[in-house]
Amino acid sequence: VFVSCQVSAVSELPRRLKEDQVRWRIVLLSVVAVALGLAYFSVLTGEDDPASLRNVGRSYYEDENYAEAAKTFQRILALTPNSAIDEINLGIVLVQLEQYEQAREHLKRGEKLEPKLALQAAYSIALSHKRERDFAKAAAEFERVLKLDPSDPDTAYNLAVVYESLGQLDRAFEQASRAVELLPEEIAPRYRRMMIAVRQGKTEIATQEKNELTRLRGQDARNRTPAELEMSRYTEIVEPERTRSPQPANVQPSGVKFTDVTTDAGILPDAGDQNALPGAVSWVDLNADSLQDLCLMVGGRKPAFWLNNGAGTFKPLSADLPVLLNSPAHAWGDLDYDGDVDLCLTGKELILVFSNDGSGKVTKAGELAVGPAALKDLLLVDYDHDGDLDLYVAQAASPPRMFQNDGKGAFTPVRPETGLSPAGAAVERILFLDFDDDNDTDFLLTQSGLPNLLLSNLRVGAFADIARQLGLDSPSDNRNVIATDLNNDEWRDLVFLRKSGDLSAGLGTKAGKYQSLSLGRVTGPASALASLDYDNDGDEDLFAAGRLFQNDGRFSDFTAVTGLESLTGSAVQACPEDFDGDGDLDLAVCLENGSLRLLRNDGGNRNQWVRIRLEGLQSNRFGVATKVEVREGSFFQRKICDGGPLLFGIGQRRDVDVVRMWWPTGVAQNILAPALKQTTLVKEKLGPPSSCPFLYLWDGKGFSFFTDVLDVAALGVPLANGKMLAHANKEDLLIPGSKVKYK
């Protein structure tokens, strides 16, 4: 469906205003209902634990219920009067309530108690002065922020706005230029720089920026509103540093057993082939029924699929797919945003792209030529944060390549100058991780016999290898590597299974540099490595080369007592998933001979659990790379969504304060007091509105947001001497037919 959007006639306005009044009444009633629900939760909890209250206060703040947030932080300060972080937090909230004088008092008191909080204090003080239109004081405080953190783009943008309001156009242009340099692919800084250039009579620069705005709009680039641009990393609620609990004196087995149910589950026994080529196993919801289906890829064979019946059993699904070559590498993801998972497969000198019709039937939709080098790994992730999944490809004896998705499942190569194709690299494994927790996508690349590479996202359309600075550049002798959070401190850790049999970790830290930790040792050549909380006690255990290491602050080999020693054969890959829906993680294991084993977890669900399933509305459809956190008092656990449901074990805790999502769009979303032992579907909260028209589509049941339109100056931009930049009052949009129904 093609839609042409234009500026409408003024005669349409009365009817639209009447419709808008009805919509806003509905929205207002919804907001009131949510506020009453949040207030009820506050009364219900009756918590006097500052950590739990802080979790709730943060949720209120991020849901823009600032009045309840302020009451919550006031309650914390009544319990802990000298809490510097909560003085700062209350000040941040009071700025949003427009109680500026009180806000500044709390912010200054918090900074005095803890000088390390100067950035948060200065930024919110600057924001309070800016909103009071005391631009001189606002400029002084924003300058203080930039002195402490010259790389913060939001501070540069707001300082440009402040200097422009003061009539100091040269300083305004300088800061707007800095914001553009830091955020070259974002619309708002370029728009600000263009408008300042217009006021200075710099017609050539204004025209260049207008052309850049047109280009960015065509790429659906990020477009934050002025209100959103005020909300920086320094207006987030501050939390205390997390510390690891002391190691227990005596580590006890959990009582969990794993049982081989391969045959009972309806998966035909396979004796395997000792000469089998490499294999891989994955879980994926092929037919969109919210049940995880099973996929086995083995070189020299056709892919094998089994549909989950929902009762712990499976049935085979035939698929018209080619015989795999040497590599079993594959990747699942919704490439065309139609609500089902599509498939990327390795072929001879190319990658095959298959589209899913929603029932599990996949048909070839295209192919990508990649050259003769052997394909090692495929990864689907939204590297450019534009709401669709891009494809990163690892090849032997050849630099990796990124292919950008156009939003409809068609891919184009990304230029090597981005730093995503390091010269001389021969990558075997690709992982995405936000190592510095700044909400962009970084990559770990491992090479055989060569140093690891960590590509840091510079947010200027470029990546740089900083493995040496982080202590990760030692020559790689890995069988396998995964990213997880072993110590629940929110920083991503790396676990390495070495060819020597050593199992070790690089623990992520706030300072950036990874800390080495020995975890154990395995024998034999197996390469399977997976992170799972098998006993639902709230921390990640490890399955490595057929051995199970229980995490209790140290890692103990509990393979024998969990029944896993009965697993015969060399495990080359393991993939955890709760396939029977009973609240604990089972294991699918691919053996070296190409056979598959399904191991059911019996007993892990004696502990409490919460399962979260995501649906993106502005981010990619299944929330890949979304950070999901479970908080209960000082207990904290974070997982990164890979497109499937996430299961959190919480031990014997009786409730959870909040489940918090941090979507790739940068939008935070909270679910207060989620139900235990249930699956909660979370649909992405839409970000702040823009000043542009919105297009909503009828899906057969109701209207849903599709996109905004005409944000490239529908009426033109005035220049000096009465001239105008060319207007853009027409925009053509392509709407997938699956997204709109006849009414």
What is 56-78 written as a DSSP string?
Answer: HHHHHHHTT-HHHHHHHHHHHHH
The residue among 247 and 152 whose pLDDT is bigger is: 152
Is the pLDDT at 22 greater than 60? The verdict is no
Least confident range from 1-15, 440-454, 556-570: namely: 1-15
Q: What percent of the chain has pLDDT over 90?
A: 65
Give residue-wise pLDDT tens across range 135-154: 999 999 999 999 999 989 99
How many residues are there in the chain? 743
pLDDT at 228: 82
pLDDT at 353: 95
The residue among 397 and 419 whose pLDDT is bigger is: 419
Q: Are 60 and 673 in contact (CB under 8 A)?
A: no
Residue whose C-alpha is closest to residue 241's, from 58, 509, 56, 61: 509
Confidence category of residue 475, pLDDT binned at 50, 70, 90: confident
Assigned token pair, 655: 């409730």
pLDDT at 416: 87
| Distance (Å, whole) CA 563 – CA 585 | 15
pLDDT at 737: 76
The residue among 228 and 381 whose pLDDT is bigger is: 381
Is the pLDDT at 710 greater than 90? The verdict is no
Angle between helices 66-79 and 84-96 (to 10 degrees): 160
The sign of the dihedral angle between the CA atoms of 534, 537, 538, 541 is negative
| Distance (Å, whole) CA 371 – CA 368 | 9
Cα radius of gyration rounded to whole Å, the chain: 27
Is the pLDDT at 590 greater than 70? The verdict is yes
628 forms bridges with which residues in the sheet? 639, 661
Q: What percent of the chain has pLDDT over 70?
A: 86
Confidence category of residue 612, pLDDT binned at 50, 70, 90: very high
Confidence category of residue 300, pLDDT binned at 50, 70, 90: confident
Least confident range from 17-31, 381-395, 511-525: namely: 17-31
- The tokens 């099973």 sit on which residue? 294
pLDDT at 17: 42
Q: What is the DSSP letter of 450?
A: S
Give residue-wise pLDDT tens across range 652-699: 999 999 999 999 988 889 999 999 999 999 999 876 544 556 677 887
Give residue-wise pLDDT tens across range 34-77: 444 444 444 344 458 999 999 999 999 999 999 999 999 999 99
Confidence category of residue 6, pLDDT binned at 50, 70, 90: very low
- Rounded to the nearest integer, the mean pLDDT of the chain is 87
pLDDT at 224: 74
Confidence category of residue 742, pLDDT binned at 50, 70, 90: confident
Measure the CA dihedral 9/10/15/17, to 10°. Answer: 120
Confidence category of residue 3, pLDDT binned at 50, 70, 90: very low
Give residue-wise pLDDT tens across range 112-126: 999 999 999 999 999
- The tokens 């209902």 sit on which residue? 33
Q: In one letter, which amino acid is 719?
A: L
pLDDT at 208: 92
DSSP structure string for 459-481: SSS-EEE-HHHHT--SBP-EEEE
Tell me the mean pLDDT in the region 226-233. Answer: 85
Is the pLDDT at 203 greater than 80? The verdict is yes
pLDDT at 666: 82
